[in-house]
């Protein structure tokens, strides 16, 4: 699959998630089988570009190509400037955010709120495409199915975006009103795919190979984008890729392998975020990684009391050493739940 001039190794993508898909997490997911990853959204507001948060989000040092940056905003000129700013910092693909349902984003009429104003949305698309074309940088669009169940305009907006020069469209199978509640639906994604010539990516509730296969079959999508299911389980990409290719599930990773991946990720995370911020933001990544494992809840509570990078690394390494002694292969969620019950009963 290609996005503009970039040929991707596979069609399994990491979704942009605020506070999650920083450079270390994107690199980890790519290492473990993702073919493509998009950054956390970067604001189009120029006065915030020098902030520590934005500078971290726009950090691509050592990241493998293609480097994709998602931008968010409501003013076409500001969005065009944001595209140029991020291209200067290494972006090779610019993604427009029309999918975020967060109130603090939608209250400024950005994110998925833009789908309620198609005229403004398409002015933004045209401005960003015009800003990127001289640099040979493709523009992609991430959107939802519409404002609510009565107002699903994804097909019309996606077709207009294609006509304006967008190279790929990703559709999350929920409305803005749904947020992340309920189940994703794929009929709208299938309708978008049927009407577009450019690649279409399906997003929402893809958590294993069986669901991945079903979504590809139902929608005809060119690729799949995975978000929350990769939190704490970044090897989901290689698992799905293996099963789609061979028809057989991949054995669980060795517990020692997972230990190594997580410790390496933490070191990269601390290097980007620093001691104070890194320790605090790492807690959620560690919590996601251990939540389904035997004793994970108890360890998570301990981890939240540690306030240094060294203490977190030492505690996580020791905990995984002990887990590996009992479980050479990483326990499945079901097996972990059974072990947890035994542990609590004891």
pTM above threshold 0.95 = no
Q: What percent of the chain has pLDDT over 70?
A: 91
CB 138 within 8 A of CB 93: yes
With cut-offs at 50, 70 and 90, classify the pLDDT of residue 109: very low
| 146/14: higher pLDDT | 14
Give the model's pLDDT for residue 334: 41
With cut-offs at 50, 70 and 90, classify the pLDDT of residue 15: very high
Give the model's pLDDT for residue 57: 73
pLDDT > 50? residue 342: no
**Closest to 193 in 3D by CA, of 166, 168, 165:** 168
- 100 is known as an active-site residue: yes
With cut-offs at 50, 70 and 90, classify the pLDDT of residue 10: very high
pLDDT digits (tens, 9 = 90+) for 168-212: 999 999 988 777 888 999 999 999 999 999 999 999 999 999 999
Active-site option among 100, 106, 132, 309 = 100
Looking at mean pLDDT, say which of 58-67, 111-120, 132-141 comes out highest: 132-141
- Mean pLDDT (whole number) for 48-75: 82
With cut-offs at 50, 70 and 90, classify the pLDDT of residue 338: very low
pLDDT > 70? residue 234: yes
Tell me: domain 2-246, CATH 3.20.20.70, correct? yes
Give the model's pLDDT for residue 33: 97
With cut-offs at 50, 70 and 90, classify the pLDDT of residue 123: very high
pLDDT > 50? residue 337: no
With cut-offs at 50, 70 and 90, classify the pLDDT of residue 107: very low
Cα–Cα dist 101/336, whole Å: 33
pLDDT digits (tens, 9 = 90+) for 253-276: 999 999 999 999 999 999 999 999
Give the model's pLDDT for residue 203: 97
Give the model's pLDDT for residue 105: 52
pLDDT > 80? residue 324: yes
Give the model's pLDDT for residue 336: 43
**Closest to 23 in 3D by CA, of 265, 286, 274, 230:** 265
Q: What percent of the chain has pLDDT over 90?
A: 77
pLDDT digits (tens, 9 = 90+) for 263-321: 999 999 999 999 999 999 999 999 999 999 999 999 999 999 999 999 999 999 999 99
With cut-offs at 50, 70 and 90, classify the pLDDT of residue 103: low
Average pLDDT, whole number, for the chain?
90
pLDDT digits (tens, 9 = 90+) for 26-44: 999 999 999 999 999 888 8
What is the C-alpha radius of gyration for the chain, rounded to an integer number of angstroms?
20
């Amino acid at each position: 699959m290609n996005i503009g001039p970039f040929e991707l190794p596979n069609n399994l993508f990491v979704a942009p998630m605020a506070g999650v898909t920083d450079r270390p997490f994107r690199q980890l997911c790519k290492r473990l089988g993702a073919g493509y990853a998009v950054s956390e959204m970067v604001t189009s507001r120029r006065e915030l570009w020098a902030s520590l948060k934005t500078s971290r989000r726009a950090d691509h040092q050592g990241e493998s190509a293609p480097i994709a940056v998602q931008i968010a905003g409501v003013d076409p000129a500001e969005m065009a400037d944001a595209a140029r700013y991020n291209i200067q910092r290494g972006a090779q693909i610019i993604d427009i955010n029309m999918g975020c349902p967060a109130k603090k984003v939608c209250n400024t009429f950005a994110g998925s709120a833009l789908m309620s104003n198609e005229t403004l949305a398409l002015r933004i698309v045209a401005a960003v495409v015009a800003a990127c074309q001289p640099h040979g940088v493709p523009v992609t669009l991430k959107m939802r199915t519409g404002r609510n169940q009565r107002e699903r305009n994804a097909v019309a907006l996606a077709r207009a975006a294609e006509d304006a020069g967008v190279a790929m469209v990703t559709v999350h199978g929920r409305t803005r009103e749904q947020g992340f509640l309920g189940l994703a639906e794929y009929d709208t994604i299938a309708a978008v795919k049927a009407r577009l010539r450019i690649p279409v990516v399906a997003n929402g509730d893809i958590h294993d190979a069986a669901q991945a296969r079903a979504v590809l079959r139902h929608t005809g999508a060119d690729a799949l984008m995975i978000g929350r299911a990769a939190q704490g389980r970044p090897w989901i990409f290689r698992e799905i890729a293996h099963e789609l290719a061979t028809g057989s599930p991949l054995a669980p990773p060795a517990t020692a392998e997972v230990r190594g991946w997580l410790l390496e990720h933490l070191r990269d995370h601390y290097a980007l975020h620093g001691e104070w911020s890194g320790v605090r933001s790492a807690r959620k990544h560690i919590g996601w990684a251990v939540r389904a494992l035997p004793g994970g809840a108890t360890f998570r509570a301990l981890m939240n009391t540690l306030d240094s990078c060294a203490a977190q690394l030492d505690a996580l390494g020791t905990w995984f050493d002990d887990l590996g002694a009992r479980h050479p292969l990483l326990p499945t969620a079901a097996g972990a739940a059974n072990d947890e019950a035994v542990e609590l009963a004891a």
